[in-house]
């Protein structure tokens, strides 16, 4: 009882910039354990939707409910605390720290100064770092300085730095951009593995990758939802072929 049906319910979400509606009456619902991919041409409003969910941009109107609670009035840090993690396109790892240390500094240690000062590298923390390192294919590179990782490994490390905070909703902006074919395959495996107990919302342009990962796809066009459903359904939708996939 009291369990919300959706992990995330976005309803009639709208944001105007100087009268221009970058996101215009967008609604979609993400289930628990779902990988949802948002596709659409440049300027469709994809990044702005993620900015709205993580609190970086304020909605003009509409609602974003996460586990039944309204996010649109919360600060960015309160949204992170609620369990929403976001990875941006540019990596924000610490090049001069090891893989282990990058994961360690991302481990949640409470919000107080006291919590940070008294934080100890105890066995539970170490175990969690090893568990995450294994998921992101870096368990044999724990002592390597992050600057020596490949581009793909850096992207995985950043996902790991979010995973260690145990978000229930993970948002990723073009996670496989610049990756090799082999790295893309492993990233798809990683996403399928991490959705047990969480959901992933991804912006992606690589249609092969979208086919590999998406449970459902939401197509945005000019700030509105143009189509939604399985990749099979969406890619055969004449409206989608017309504005996007046909090019």
Catalog residues that contact ligand ADP under the rule CB under 6 A. Answer: 17, 22, 40, 42-48
CB nearer ligand ADP, residue 26 or residue 213 = 26
CB of 190 to ligand ADP, least distance (A): 23
Query: Residue 195: which H helix or E strand, with range?
Result: none
Q: How far is the CB of 181 from ligand ADP (least distance, A)?
A: 25
d(CA 232, CA 114): 52
> Which is nearer to ligand ADP, 138 or 171 (by Cβ)?
171
- Assigned token pair, 200: 């992933």
Four-residue CA torsion sign, 17, 20, 26, 32 = negative
Question: Closest separation between CB of residue 160 and ligand ADP, Å?
Answer: 25
Q: Identify which of residues 104 and 228 has a Cβ nearer to ligand ADP in the complex.
A: 228
- In the complex, least distance from residue 1 CB atom to ligand ADP, rounded to whole angstroms: 38
Q: Which residue number, 103 or 170, has a Cβ lying nearer to ligand ADP?
A: 170
Across 77-203, where does the E strand assignment appear? 84-87, 169-173, 199-203
Structure tokens at 148: 């020596």
Backbone φ, ψ for residue 125 (5° rounding):
-65, -45
Least distance CB 180 / ligand ADP (angstroms) = 24
Q: Residue 75: count other Cβ atoms within 10 Å of its Cβ.
A: 9
| Residue among 99 and 201 whose Cβ is closer to ligand ADP | 201
Q: How many CA atoms lie within 13 A of 23 on its CB side?
A: 26
């Amino acid at each position: 009882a009291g369990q919300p049906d959706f992990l995330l319910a976005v309803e009639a979400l709208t944001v105007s910039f100087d009268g221009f509606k970058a996101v215009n009456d967008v609604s979609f619902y993400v289930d628990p354990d779902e990988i949802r991919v948002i596709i659409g041409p440049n300027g469709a409003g994809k990044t702005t939707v993620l900015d709205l969910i993580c609190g970086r941009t304020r909605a003009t109107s509409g609602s974003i409910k996460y586990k039944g609670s309204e996010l649109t009035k919360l600060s960015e840090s309160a949204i992170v605390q609620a369990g929403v993690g976001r990875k941006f396109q540019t990596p924000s790892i610490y090049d001069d720290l090891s893989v282990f240390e990058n994961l360690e500094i991302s481990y949640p240690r409470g919000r107080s100064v006291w919590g940070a000062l008294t934080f100890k590298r105890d066995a539970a923390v170490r175990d969690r770092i090893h568990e995450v390192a294994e998921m992101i294919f870096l368990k044999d590179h724990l002592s390597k300085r992050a600057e020596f990782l490949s581009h793909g490994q850096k992207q995985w490390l950043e996902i790991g730095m979010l995973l260690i905070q145990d978000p229930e909703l993970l948002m990723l902006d073009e996670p496989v951009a610049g990756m090799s074919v082999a790295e893309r395959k492993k990233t798809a495996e990683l996403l399928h593995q991490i959705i047990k107990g969480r959901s992933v919302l991804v912006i992606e342009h690589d249609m092969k990758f979208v086919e590999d990962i998406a449970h459902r796809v939401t197509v945005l066009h000019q700030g509105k939802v143009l189509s939604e459903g399985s990749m099979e359904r969406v890619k055969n939708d004449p409206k989608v072929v017309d504005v996007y996939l046909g090019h």
